[in-house]
Amino acid sequence: MFYDKETKEYVCNSCGASYTIQELTVRKERELALKYEGEKKKRQKEEYLEWWLSKKK
């Protein structure tokens, strides 16, 4: 991506899509939130499995 000073947008070299800094920021925050939720679910499953296996002993 490169920054176009005239339009004040970031433009993709390969596809030509353009994004403002606000759009890129929102997208990054959304990706981080989804990653956090995925890690949270994984951690909950691991904790449940650990609890379940401890009850079987």
What pLDDT score does 43 carry?
A: 96
pLDDT for 55: 81
| Per-residue burial over 3-38, b = 16 or more CB atoms within 10 Å of its CB, e = otherwise | eeeeeebbeeeeeeeeeeeeeeeeeeeeeeeeeeee
Residue 57 pLDDT exceeds 80:
no
Single pTM value for the model: 0.61
Q: What is the pLDDT of residues 3-40, one digit of tens each?
A: 999 999 999 999 989 999 999 999 999 999 999 999 99
Predicted pLDDT of residue 2: 92
